[in-house]
A and B are shown apart, each in its own frame.
Chain A
Amino acid sequence: MSVPTADPAVETRGLVKRFGDNTAVDGVDLSIPRGGIYGVLGPNGAGKTTVIRMLATLLRPDGGEARVLGHDVFAEPATIREKIALTGQFASLDEDLTGIENLVLLGRLLGFPGRTARRRGHELLEAFGLAEAAGRQVKKYSGGMRRRLDIAGSLLVTPELIFLDEPTTGIDPRSRNQVWDIIRTLVGAGTTVLLTTQYLEEADQLADRLAVIDHGRVIAEGTPGQLKAQVGSGALTVRVVEPADREQAAELLARTIEAEVTREPDPTALTARLNERSRAAAALSALEEAHIDVETFALGQPSLDEVFLALTGHRAEHEGEEDGAAADETDGGRDDQAEATIR
């Protein structure tokens, strides 16, 4: 008998799903280790949700193979359902019912006797800070509360693998941070998390590894660091004190780093993608020699946004609000970069 923990959490080969003429998932190969957070990143309509739905046994693949926690999705869907939990893209809750009723319903369906389901439901509501809203209909919950209840519904029993389909889409930043904390807590408890997101920052913040999906295909796979490394050395952001100096600064930069310089909407800001990091120092000296006062000179790893652009040739959707904190830890770039790009 094989040791069950030796199986990867998810393994797919050539996974295909068609809806009529549209091939939503077009030969996806994934190997997701147990433990940790695996991110599936892609724009709207890339096929992320379809992959999740096939792995959660809601949708039968049209081709290829998929094993979840060592079980075949075609042959053993019932066994898989005992070990997974799914939090769908739109809150997987009954809006007409109250918070506690939703949890009792799911608890009883999972096999708890009524009283135990109720006790467990209240425990979860308490832990998720929803105790006061226990008796309120879910349709009256805020987006963040709904999300937390939704995740609580997946934790009545602890799943070995939890699917979170766009867990923070449409919720405010504070709730988003709470959801991130909850996800990290889950991993700490030994659950494997498979999350989809169209937020580049989210993948960067949470995922240990990630697959970038576009048009139903995996176009890149690796750690966030590896993906960034594929794209180039990094991004340079410069802000001058006097807007009048910007044009001169742009010309100097373009000459010293030999790359295209973008004039940002902010009249003091310039950005450029560096091909070689070492040229940054030369650029800074050139600016100093020209007596241009520089407010910000920040060097960061490329954001996942740039990774996406480089890999697909088009920009990810919904990028605007996410640019800010996407800079990486190196070169002390995080704070400067964030400051430089928040407009």
Chain B
Amino acid sequence: MSINGTTTLHESERIRHILVSPEDRPARAGAFSASMTYGWRALLKIKHVPEQLFDVTIFPIMMTVMMTYVFGGAIGEAMAGGDSQSAVDAYVQFLIPGVFVQTLVMITMYTGLTLNRDISKGVFDRFRSLPTWRPAQLVGALLGDQVRYTIAGVIILVVGVIMGFRPGGGLTGAVAAFALLLVFSFCLSWVWTTVALLMRTEQAAMGVSMFILMPLTFVSNIFADPQTMPGPVRAFAEINPVSTVVAAVRDLMDGTYDVGGLTMVLVYCAVLVVVFGPLSMLIYNRKS
């Protein structure tokens, strides 16, 4: 081929020069190291595509402001015992921890959507052909998402404080509540990795995720006390795991805690990981 100039010949020389012997390879990356590497990849993606932070920045602000001022007057008035003056203030105290949980729980969905997008690309085959601990790709993505959840959480709390939210437990209470919620979000994300691996398109994954998330976050104690709801709805709101998490987060923010409630949250976390972790991996390994 006449196009082969001297440049390519030099290139082959250079390539031959940097090839190492097949025996000359590092020891297999450990599970932790591989997971952290995939987590690093998630952070790089935030760096290169900062637009993807929209869902963890604007969305939480929107939710917090919207929910407080739409429902604040009506629901808050009842809570404040008919005093419409302090209605919104009272509702802010009640709602902010709830919106905090709701928003982070909603955002966990994006973990699955990102994964679904990843799978449709060639890089997914490359990752699966590597001799690394296979769950690392999923664990790493979830670890990277902790950064996104943290950004969203901080924004909500800052907006909340601006709007008059004052956690009774102070900074310590807020940090404790935050930590608990991050743990729950990490565990819940495994549900969305399962959904993402099952669904063929991102849109389908989104549809299923919303279908699950809407009732879980709305039919709960986030916006109103379940006592005010009719029988079956109230029953659902009371057994809804999200309600348990919200109650625990409210307590911690208030500077108190209920051992039973906290235990329940951790049990939910364990169940989510134990069921959906292996399920995700099973589908991941079989994925064509």
Q: Which residues of A contact B (CB under 8 A)?
A: 19, 53, 56-60, 78, 81-98, 101, 105-106, 108-113, 116, 123-124, 126-129, 137, 153, 155, 157-160, 173-174, 177-178, 181-182, 184-186, 188-191, 325
> Are A110 and B130 in touch, CB under 8 angstroms?
yes
Contact partner of A116 (CB less than 8 A), chosen from B9, B26, B127, is B26
> Are A96 and B49 in touch, CB under 8 angstroms?
yes
Chain A contacts for B121, CB-based, 8 A: 90, 95
Segment from B29-37, B158-166, B191-199 that makes contact with A: B29-37
Residue contacts A-B, CB under 8 angstroms, 28 given: A53-B125, A53-B288, A60-B286, A78-B131, A81-B130, A92-B122, A92-B123, A93-B123, A96-B48, A105-B37, A108-B37, A109-B132, A111-B25, A111-B26, A116-B26, A124-B18, A126-B18, A127-B14, A127-B17, A129-B7, A137-B48, A157-B26, A158-B24, A177-B3, A177-B4, A181-B12, A182-B12, A184-B12
Q: From DSSP, what is the main secondary structure of chain B's interface residues? A: helix
Please provide the chain B residues from 91 to 130 with a CB less than 8 Å away from any CB of chain A in the complex: 121-123, 125-130
User: B200 contacts the other chain (Cβ, under 8 Å)?
Assistant: no
> Are B131 and A82 in touch, CB under 8 angstroms?
yes
> Are B37 and A109 in touch, CB under 8 angstroms?
yes
> Are A86 and B123 in touch, CB under 8 angstroms?
no
In the bound assembly, the distance between CA atoms of A93 and B118 in angstroms comes to 11
What are the 7 A-B residue pairs with the smallest beta carbon separation, nearest first?
Answer: A92-B126, A111-B26, A90-B122, A157-B25, A86-B129, A127-B14, A81-B131
Chain B contacts for A109, CB-based, 8 A: 29, 34, 37-38, 127, 130, 132, 136
Within the complex, what minimum Cβ distance (angstroms) separates A126 from chain B? 7
> Are B1 and A177 in touch, CB under 8 angstroms?
yes
User: B234 contacts the other chain (Cβ, under 8 Å)?
Assistant: no
Contact partner of B15 (CB less than 8 A), chosen from A85, A97, A128, A160, is A128
A189 (CB) vs chain B CBs: closest residue: B19
User: B212 contacts the other chain (Cβ, under 8 Å)?
Assistant: no
Chain A contacts for B14, CB-based, 8 A: 126-127
Contact partner of A159 (CB less than 8 A), chosen from B11, B22, B41, is B22
In the bound assembly, the distance between CA atoms of A60 and B130 in angstroms comes to 16
In the bound assembly, the distance between CA atoms of A155 and B20 in angstroms comes to 8
Chain A contacts for B22, CB-based, 8 A: 83, 157-160, 190-191
> Are A178 and B11 in touch, CB under 8 angstroms?
yes
> Are A57 and B129 in touch, CB under 8 angstroms?
yes
User: B228 contacts the other chain (Cβ, under 8 Å)?
Assistant: no
B134 (CB) vs chain A CBs: closest residue: A78
> Are B12 and A157 in touch, CB under 8 angstroms?
no
Contact partner of B129 (CB less than 8 A), chosen from A81, A96, A112, is A81
In the bound assembly, the distance between CA atoms of A83 and B23 in angstroms comes to 9
> Are B125 and A92 in touch, CB under 8 angstroms?
yes
A158-B26 contact, Cβ under 8 Å, with A153-B126, A182-B12: no
A91-B122 contact, Cβ under 8 Å, with A96-B45, A160-B22, A173-B3: yes
In the bound assembly, the distance between CA atoms of A92 and B136 in angstroms comes to 18
Contact partner of B25 (CB less than 8 A), chosen from A110, A137, A174, is A110
Contact partner of A182 (CB less than 8 A), chosen from B15, B49, B126, B132, is B15
Contact partner of A97 (CB less than 8 A), chosen from B7, B8, B48, B131, is B48
Contact partner of B12 (CB less than 8 A), chosen from A97, A174, A185, is A185
> Are B16 and A185 in touch, CB under 8 angstroms?
yes
A163 (CB) vs chain B CBs: closest residue: B129
User: B283 contacts the other chain (Cβ, under 8 Å)?
Assistant: no
A181-B126 contact, Cβ under 8 Å, with A105-B41, A158-B20, A160-B22: no
In the bound assembly, the distance between CA atoms of A91 and B126 in angstroms comes to 9
Chain B contacts for A158, CB-based, 8 A: 19-22, 24
A177-B125 contact, Cβ under 8 Å, with A94-B41, A158-B24: no
B52 (CB) vs chain A CBs: closest residue: A96
Contact partner of A127 (CB less than 8 A), chosen from B8, B11, B25, is B11
> Are B131 and A185 in touch, CB under 8 angstroms?
no
In the bound assembly, the distance between CA atoms of A153 and B21 in angstroms comes to 16
In the bound assembly, the distance between CA atoms of A177 and B5 in angstroms comes to 10
In the bound assembly, the distance between CA atoms of A142 and B35 in angstroms comes to 31
> Are B125 and A94 in touch, CB under 8 angstroms?
no
> Are B122 and A97 in touch, CB under 8 angstroms?
no
In the bound assembly, the distance between CA atoms of A338 and B18 in angstroms comes to 36
A111-B28 contact, Cβ under 8 Å, with A53-B125, A78-B131: yes
A112 (CB) vs chain B CBs: closest residue: B26
Within the complex, what minimum Cβ distance (angstroms) separates B41 from chain A? 6
A325 (CB) vs chain B CBs: closest residue: B1
Chain B contacts for A116, CB-based, 8 A: 26
Interface flags for B65-81 (1: CB within 8 Å of A; 0: not) read 00000000000000000
Within the complex, what minimum Cβ distance (angstroms) separates B13 from chain A? 8
Within the complex, what minimum Cβ distance (angstroms) separates B85 from chain A? 51
User: B179 contacts the other chain (Cβ, under 8 Å)?
Assistant: no
Within the complex, what minimum Cβ distance (angstroms) separates A71 from chain B? 12
A154 (CB) vs chain B CBs: closest residue: B126
Within the complex, what minimum Cβ distance (angstroms) separates A252 from chain B? 35
Chain A contacts for B129, CB-based, 8 A: 56-58, 81, 84-86
Contact partner of B125 (CB less than 8 A), chosen from A58, A113, A174, A190, is A58
> Are B4 and A88 in touch, CB under 8 angstroms?
no
> Are A157 and B27 in touch, CB under 8 angstroms?
no
User: B44 contacts the other chain (Cβ, under 8 Å)?
Assistant: yes
Within the complex, what minimum Cβ distance (angstroms) separates B108 from chain A? 21
Contact partner of A110 (CB less than 8 A), chosen from B1, B7, B26, is B26
Chain B contacts for A87, CB-based, 8 A: 126
